Structure 1
Amino acid sequence: MPATLEVESTLTDRYQTTVPETVRRALRLGKRDKIHYAIRSSGEVVLTRAETIEAQDPVLGAFLDLLARDIATQPQRLQAIDASLVQRLHTLTDGVDVDLDAALSADDE
């Protein structure tokens, strides 16, 4: 299958490179995503987005780690959520549809 688009990047002295924007977009790569390399006997390297068993959001993971450390070090700060707050949250989000698989706009990336 012939390539429909070709791009290049340069290796640094430390053998690092920036993944070109066109490749990042084609593979739907975000910051901290992992890349999978398949090296064929012909020397051809196929680059794909690595699939993780658990799709983890690095920002969410860091936030959850922060919460876990805070709870472990200061458990006295924990408070129950007030029923009126729960009702307000339901009111604010009632009827809001979210497509978690939809691509982000350029402004949101």
Structure 2
Amino acid sequence: MTPSLIEMRRLDWETPASLLQRVAVLEKVHPIESIEQLRDRLDEDRAAFALFHRAWTTSRWPSCGLPSPVASPTHSTRSPTRLRPASRSKRPIPPCSGAFRRHKRGCPPWAWATS
């Protein structure tokens, strides 16, 4: 998974309803309990964002196919047969990107940012 293929898109009230519904269901830190709360979070004086992987969709809003969350394929991209023990590795292991570290700590792959 290449971090350069992950993009953050702003969500607003014009975002397809199926995508907003998915974000509302997946929000665990500040649960959304009503449509009024969702509308407040998407108001002009606030900002909400979602992370998308460019390889999973060609449309601006992937609401038709509802793609997998950004971080889910990381489990399948590393196969144990390709990994070598760190002691025999010739190159140092590069540091993880910030998005990957946040996922490993248990943050949801869809993120809200409110101001």
Select the structure of larger CA radius of gyration.
Answer: 1
Bin for the TM-score computed over the shorter chain: under 0.3
- TM-score, structure 1 as length reference: 0.24
- Calculate the TM-score normalised by the size of structure 2: 0.23
Q: Which has the higher contact order (CA 8 A, sep 6+)?
A: 2
